[in-house]
Structure 1
Amino acid sequence: MNYKDMYYRALATATVIGWGTVTALAQATSGDPSAPIDFLKTARQKASSSSLNASSIATGGNNAGIVISIIFAVVGIGLAGISAVKLYKSSQDDNAREDAGRSLAGLVIGSGVTILGVIIGVVTTYMTGSGT
């Protein structure tokens, strides 16, 4: 007996036993042949009653755009307000630790973000007809 082939013999035996088990299990299970058709009918009914269509997606996207523009406007107002207060403090006190240049840049950027947020929000709302 050759021991070099033992691995291959064991592998072949396991394969034959495995296929025999699969065949026995396939014969033992008896299913309803109309089950896939019933599953397909149920899936089609659920798809037809779904609210996922083009108009609901457009409405959701429009609402998300309005929320994002409001968030940008609020963040811009906050940035501009904080920068304006720091700019005022640095202009009143010569020994202030705040840098006037950074405060001025923050004021300009915050104002720009606010303006863009408001303009984009207004244009989006009125151009799509959801605000009238």
Structure 2
Amino acid sequence: MLTMSAMSALGQGTTGDPSAPLDILKTARQKAQSSQLNASSIAQGGNNAGIVFTILFAVVGIGLAGISGVKLYKSSQDDNAREDVGRSLMGLIVGSGITILGVIIGVVTTYMTGNT
């Protein structure tokens, strides 16, 4: 039984199209050439992601500095304020630092890479 099934499988191998592997290879090469997955596309995508990350970093810093500045102002106006002045001052400093770093890194990166 095993021999009969092996013989029938060997006999069916000669009826296929001999150019089929070449057609598959040709199609694969055409798809690879039209693909957007190349080094310059990946570099541009990474650059765009870096710009978005830098802008997000700066916006978070502005928000932190703004909230801390408002809390610091309110606590300085009210003698019975429950807010801790030290935490508000530290938040203002950290938020300003994050904003400055985000903007400086963004400007320097854009200037050095020549992307506008």
* Inter-CA distance 76–23: structure 2 relative to 1 (3 Å threshold): farther
The one-letter code matched in structure 1 to 2:30 is: Q
Among 93, 109, 123, the alignment partner of 2:108 is 123
Query: Residue 112 of structure 1 aligns with which residue?
Result: 97
Q: What percent of counterpart residues are identical?
A: 76
The normalised TM-score by structure 1 is 0.74
Report whether the alignment pairs 1:103 with 2:88.
yes
Report whether the alignment pairs 1:65 with 2:41.
no
Question: Secondary structure of the equivalent of 1:52?
Answer: coil
Among 21, 30, 49, the alignment partner of 1:36 is 21
The one-letter code matched in structure 1 to 2:57 is: F
Distance in 2, Cα, partners of 1:25 & 1:102: 83
Q: In terms of Rg, which structure is larger?
A: 1
In structure 2, list runs of 5 or more residues that go unmatched. Answer: none
In structure 1, list runs of 5 or more residues that go unmatched. Answer: 1-16
Distance in 2, Cα, partners of 1:65 & 1:50: 23
Distance in 1, Cα, partners of 2:6 & 2:65: 74
Query: Residue 5 of structure 1 aligns with which residue?
Result: none
Task: Deviation per CA, 1:14-48: give whole Å up to 9, x if none.
Answer: xxx8x78x758846685434322211110111101
The normalised TM-score by structure 2 is 0.83
The one-letter code matched in structure 2 to 1:119 is: I
Q: How many residues align?
A: 114
